[in-house]
Amino acid sequence: MVALDTVWPADSIEFCPHESASEIFVCGTYRLEQPPADSDARVQTALDDGKGDFEPTTRKQSQVRRGKCLVLQVTEDREISQIQEISLPAVLDQKWCHTSQTASPVLGIADSEGNITLHEWHKEERRLKSFQSVSCAPSNVLCLSLDWSTRRYPTNSYGSLVVSLSSGSLCVLNPDSTGNLAVVNQWHAHDYEPWIAAWNYWDTSIVYSGGDDLTMKGWDVRQNFDQPIFTNKRHVIISTYFVYFSYPRRFNAGVTTIQSHPHIEYLIAVGSYDNNVCIFDTRKPLVPLVQGDVGGGAWRVKWHPSPSRKEDLLVASMHDGFKVAKAHHREDVTWEIVKRFDDHKSLAYGADWSFAPPGADGETLIASCSFYDHTLHLWNG
């Protein structure tokens, strides 16, 4: 398979979903400079278990986090060609906005200095051009994740963004009267870092979040944010209507990734540092339909973009490589790992499916990247 040295540690991969640019994808990098000599035990423990490079504590304010967005192209012979490099603060997450075919592709980038930057793809020049930067937090707060609301229902313009911040807060950005994005809501959501925030693509009044407090929560953006609509927490699971004690499915480590299914209403995939991915019905978000062991912390989960492969889930499993799993959902949901990719020699962080048509073998192109060995691979799954 094809490999590329990203030079700086790599942590995110996103293929452009737009039909006119399906060969374009981006890779985000994160380089930590000037580590303090007095790093404390908590930071060192996080480094040892693979979380340290994303450990957003105030004790690291003296550190400098640099990043780049590498703009890449899959060539006709399935090689990788780098066509652009954008310097930024460290990149923690990236997402393309799903727009209609008459609109230009737009990429949102979450960085380590509290900013979301928006970039438009210019097909003729084959370049991304920045057109807006939104400050969501002070520069010592990291934007940990972002998600667009338009995955299920693409529009001519970009939709709403939800962003999670290392301060424990979430914020929602909406287009204003000029068409620019602006922060319209921000609230404290988690006691520790909320690694992930994600829309319900079928009902974009609902946001899900998960964090290092071993908790997944649901929020209704039409209401005030004093209380979530549900909380799935270790030891005690609380909803708006019920309280369950010592329920057998609880997160035994931080919740790291959530994605709403783009083709099956009510399904979400949720990953955790506890080596498990759970599939939930959003109408019963306290009781998983199935739980699958993926061998390492699940940093990212991605449902396959094609409805013909709606059971397939791509998982970045940190210390245990990348996997394609099948979440069969007939009468009961079952879980099966159908493919592994173990060529990476470091933490498996970024992965995505290509939106281009499958190859002659019926498989889809996948890009994945790993951190300390700063390597990107193309493979089929």
pLDDT (0 to 100) of residue 334:
85
Residues 343 and 11: their CA atoms lie apart, in Å, by 16
Contact 355, 305 (CB under 8 A): yes
Which residue is listed with tokens 């959501």?
A: 189
What is the β-pairing status of strands 236-239 and 243-245? antiparallel
Contact 333, 308 (CB under 8 A): no
pLDDT (0 to 100) of residue 61:
52
* CATH number for position 17: 2.130.10.10
Average pLDDT over the chain reads 90
Quick check: helix, strand or coil at residue 71? strand
Residue 325: in which H helix or E strand, if any? strand 322-329
Burial per residue of 123-145, b for 16 or more beta-carbon CB atoms within 10 angstroms, e otherwise: eeeeebeeeeebebbeeebbbbb
Range of the domain at 63: 2-380
Quick check: helix, strand or coil at residue 330? coil
Count of domains in the chain? 1
Name which residue leads in pLDDT, 301 or 54.
301
Residue 75: both structure tokens together: 């060539």
Cα→Cα distances 5→24, 337, 369, Å: 17, 28, 10
Residue 360 pLDDT grade (very low, low, confident, very high; cuts 50, 70, 90): confident
Residues 151 and 201: their CA atoms lie apart, in Å, by 6
pLDDT (0 to 100) of residue 331:
67
pLDDT tens, position by position, 154-175: 988 889 999 999 999 999 999 9
Radius of gyration of the chain (CA): 19
pLDDT tens, position by position, 250-295: 789 999 999 999 999 999 999 999 999 999 999 999 999 999 999 9
Residue 144 has pLDDT above 70, yes or no: yes
User: Could you tell me how many helices (H) and strands (E) the chain has, helices first?
Assistant: 1, 31
pLDDT tens, position by position, 182-214: 999 999 999 999 999 999 999 999 999 999 999
| Average pLDDT value for residue range 355-369 | 94
- From the centroid of its chain, how far is CA 92? 9
Contact 321, 286 (CB under 8 A): no
Quick check: helix, strand or coil at residue 245? strand
Q: How many of the other CB atoms lie within 10 Å of CB of 54?
A: 23
Residue 76: both structure tokens together: 């006709």
Residue 13: both structure tokens together: 């991969």
* Residue 318 DSSP one-character state: B
| Average pLDDT value for residue range 54-77 | 77
57-66, 71-80, 87-96, 98-107: the lowest-pLDDT one: 57-66
Residue 88 has pLDDT above 70, yes or no: yes
Contact 235, 247 (CB under 8 A): no
